[in-house]
Amino acid sequence: MTITGRTRLMGIVGDPVAPLRSPALFNETFARLGLDAVFVAFEVPAGELPAAWTGLSRLRNLDGLVITMPHKEAVIPLLDALGPTAQRTGTVNTARRRPDGGWEGEMFDGEGFRDGLERAGHPVCGTAILQVGCGATGRAIAHALARAGAARLVLHDTAPSRAATLARALSAAYPDLSVVEGAPDTTGHDFVVNATPLGLREGDPLPFAASHLRPSQIVADVIPNPEVTPLIAAARAAGCATVTGRAMHEGQARLAAAYLGIVGWEG
């Protein structure tokens, strides 16, 4: 495509940005739809988002931003309004320009994750789930699993207070859900979910021991690149069905695209 003075801008803000799939996915879609738009990656280190946001918000041809780690919580005070999921989770992964020039944000990681599971043929309703990781993405995923009708949810995080706080919030919001903070023991769960960044970098340890995985279990990861993480490889070796981070990424991209007003997104 030819970039002109009329080309609209969208992008993703995070650190690191080199492994991200979003620029290629969005730009391929813009080309297919014949849109005069381009999607770029902005590498903004942790702690520097407020300074960067001042500049980004002054770009009048910038229509929307996907927000990735480490900024999904830090962006909250920079926005003028939040959608319902962003309010519940205290996290945002997509922000769009308002007609008045301000910005509003919403969180789609959780529903994108659930969508990926269900498109792979693994409905959540009535199941028992172990989720490791209760950060920004983990909070959104846990809320989405609860809304989808999960029966039991065990949460684990390296910061126990984070898991316990999320468990209390879920108990209050979803009275029919059995939810506790517990050990990362995969035994007895239908789904085992990695909602941590472990697997993103070469040499990362597994988020939990894979020795107790059984073929009847479904193992899902949030890491989109590499798609086959060490966890996914270990789960497949154990005979488990797997859902990779690509499924979540594509699911949240569909929802984010609709939020950003991109008409015609397939999938």
Say how far apart CA 148 and CA 144 lie, in whole Å: 6
Question: What pTM value is reported for the model?
Answer: 0.90
Where in the chain do CATH 3.40.50.10860 domains reside?
8-107
pLDDT tens digits, one per residue of 230-247 = 999 999 999 999 999 999
Q: What is the pLDDT of residue 266?
A: 74
Say how far apart CA 263 and CA 261 lie, in whole Å: 6
What are the beta bridge partners of residue 103? Answer: 97
Where in the chain do CATH 3.40.50.720 domains reside?
110-248
Q: Which CATH architecture has domain 110-248?
A: 3-Layer(aba) Sandwich (3.40)
Angle at 119 between CA 32 and CA 264, to 5 degrees: 25
3-state secondary structure of 34: coil
Q: What is the pLDDT of residue 62?
A: 97
Are 171 and 177 spatial neighbours (Cβ–Cβ below 8 Å)? yes
pLDDT tens digits, one per residue of 40-85 = 999 999 999 999 999 999 999 999 999 999 999 999 999 999 999 9
Q: What is the pLDDT of residue 267?
A: 54
pLDDT tens digits, one per residue of 118-143 = 999 999 999 999 999 999 999 999 99
Report the CATH fold assignment for 8-107: Rossmann fold (3.40.50)
* Catalytic residue annotation: 72
Q: What is the pLDDT of residue 233?
A: 97
Question: What own/partner pairs with CB < 8 Å and gap ≥ 24 does 160-163 have?
Answer: 162/134, 162/135, 163/134
